[in-house]
Amino acid sequence: MTLLGFARRCAGRAAPLAALGAVLALAACAPATMIDRGGYVADTHYHARSADSRIRFLVLHYTEGDEADSLEELTRENVSAHYLVPEHPPLRDGKPVVLQLVPETQRAWHAGVSEWQGTTELNAASIGIENVNSGPHDTPAGRTWAPWPPDQVAAIISLSKDIVTRYGIPPTRVVGHSDIAPQRKIDPGPAFPWKQLYDAGVGAWPDDATVQADLAGRAPDAPADVRGLQMKLARYGYEVATDGVLDERTRRVFAAFQMHFRPSDYSGTPDAQTDAIAQALLDKYVDKTAPALPGATETAP
């Protein structure tokens, strides 16, 4: 059917219509699924089932600088993030204001060379949140870490919870830069409030009772089997060798895991407590040992 014929049918009359009238009649009865994009019209009525969101991971960082330096760094070439959370976010209508630097539909350059759960190049599949925080401070007495102010933590939680809810991001895919690039990065560091995020419904955390059960009577600082721990972390998502060799690369992976889930000791030493935490996370999020109930749907880890 011609455009004019369609317009005549919609207008309910067979008499010839003026060009403007035909266009107006067509616009009046065109289905809502018809989208005029200038040079063509897209019909969005039909929906393919084989599709998913580009956004499958949430990656958290610290800037290792103040707000002015962080904003300057993140708005010049070769580095970016979708969001920047100030150290003390201003309020508008009682709500914290965060800076959105890149649309969520676009890729930001925040992850670099990275891998998580077998996915490489996390920039293409994640949203990155940079948080203003100065990171580590080395003194003669040792290394300390900048604190995370409560108002900033509240803003991070609100932003993160909104993102994981909208995109259905599973708990084990809420990660730090150090998780996805343990050979290069240590942010957001051991002081980052992962447990607070978990308590608010964002990210993963092991159950204490399961950790104790998985310790199976071992002392927390007892040595753990290196290959066994490597294999557990690989199953959880880390890029790590499973050769049983405790080299510097493996230590950095162990340390990244400890910074996230046992920040009191992130030496990279493979001990029984680290092993039990890893197993508890697998028990909770990855292993599907119990038979599914009829009609039940498994959730992604």
Q: How far is 62 from 70, CA to CA, in rounded Å?
A: 9
- Taking residue 159's Cβ as centre, other Cβ atoms within 10 Å add up to 22
> What's the rounded Cα separation, in Å, for the pair 233 and 175?
13
> Are 57-199 and 208-286 equal in CATH topology?
no
- Per-residue pLDDT, 290: 40
State the pTM of this model.
Answer: 0.84
- Residue 274 CA to residue 257 CA, distance in Å, equals 8
Contact criterion met (CB below 8 Å) for 152 and 89? yes
pLDDT tens string 97-122: 999 999 999 999 999 999 999 999 99
What digits encode the pLDDT tens for the residues 33-84?
Answer: 899 999 999 999 998 988 778 899 999 999 999 999 999 999 999 999 999 9
Catalytic residue annotation: 130
What is the second-level CATH architecture of the domain 57-199? 3-Layer(aba) Sandwich (3.40)
Where are the chain's structural domains? Answer: 3-43, 57-199, 208-286
d(CA 118, CA 239): 8
Strand 142-145 and strand 41-43: the pairing is: unpaired
* Residue-averaged pLDDT of the chain: 89
Fold of 208-286: Muramoyl-pentapeptide Carboxypeptidase; domain 1 (1.10.101)
